[in-house]
């Protein structure tokens, strides 16, 4: 009888060890120390790193047909949003983006949305911005998109007074949550 109890105790302790090991592996994945998870995260990350210098590509034309340049060299921070006209996530996040612009008092001339896709679909973006941002329709292969290697829609960049990205995200919720920090960092030129 004692032998049976010892075997049973050994089996229970082995099961407990296996459960503890499985839990440890799961925790490593959740907190991001697993290399496989890091590769998944990097595939979903924003392609523009903080510190990237933004230059104004030549030949931009806004949706009203007027020549336009990005506000590089401005003494104030500005926001550059990349939207895709066929992107459901862009539509869904537009109210959050607009809220961010309004809450931080960022005027339309310092809030630029570069939209790719069929220009016939510009209506939802134009009406969603309602004058809160400047809208420019570009080709997906234009230098404005290709030079920054934008591949995810939407992508939001907060650009500082030194024309360097201080914050980049694919989520208007993260943009709104980081707003005071990102706009404060953007207001102080780098030394």
108-125 pLDDT per residue, tens: 999 999 999 999 999 999
Spatial separation of the C-alpha atoms in residues 89 and 65, rounded to whole Å: 27
pLDDT at 6: 82
pLDDT at 190: 41
- pLDDT of residue 35 exceeding 80, the answer is no
pLDDT at 29: 56
For the chain, report the end-to-end CA distance as a whole number of angstroms.
Answer: 78
Out of 3.30.70.2190, 3.40.1350.10, 3.40.50.2000, 3.40.30.10, the CATH code matching 48-187 is 3.40.30.10
Spatial separation of the C-alpha atoms in residues 113 and 128, rounded to whole Å: 12
pLDDT at 38: 41
At 41, give phi and psi (nearest 5°): -60, -40
Domain ranges of the chain: 2-42, 48-187
Spatial separation of the C-alpha atoms in residues 107 and 182, rounded to whole Å: 16
Q: What proportion of the chain, given as a percentage, has pLDDT over 90? A: 54
**Mean pLDDT of all residues belonging to the chain:** 83
Q: Contact at 8 Å (CB) between 136 and 128?
A: no
**Which class for 22: exposed (0-12), middle (13-18), buried (19 or more C-beta within 10 A)?**
exposed
pLDDT at 176: 84
Q: What is the mean pLDDT of residues 186-190?
A: 48
pTM: 0.73
- pLDDT of residue 26 exceeding 60, the answer is yes
């Amino acid at each position: 009888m004692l032998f049976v109890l010892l075997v049973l105790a050994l089996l229970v302790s082995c099961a407990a060890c296996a459960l503890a090991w499985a839990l440890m592996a799961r925790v490593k994945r959740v907190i991001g120390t697993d290399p496989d998870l890091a590769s998944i995260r990097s595939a979903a990350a924003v392609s523009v790193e903080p510190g990237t210098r933004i230059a104004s590509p030549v030949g931009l034309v806004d949706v009203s047909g007027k020549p336009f340049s990005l506000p590089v060299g401005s003494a104030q921070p500005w926001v550059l949003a990349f939207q895709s006209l066929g992107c459901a996530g862009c539509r869904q996040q537009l109210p959050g983006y607009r809220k961010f612009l309004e809450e931080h008092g960022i005027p339309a001339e310092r809030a630029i949305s570069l939209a790719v896709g069929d220009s016939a679909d510009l209506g939802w973006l134009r009406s969603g911005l309602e004058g809160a941002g400047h809208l420019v329709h570009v080709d997906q292969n234009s230098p404005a998109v290709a030079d920054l290697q934008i591949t995810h829609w939407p992508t939001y960049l907060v650009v500082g007074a030194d024309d360097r990205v201080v914050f980049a995200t694919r989520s208007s919720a993260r943009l709104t949550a980081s707003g005071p920090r990102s706009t404060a960092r953007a207001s102080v030129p780098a030394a």
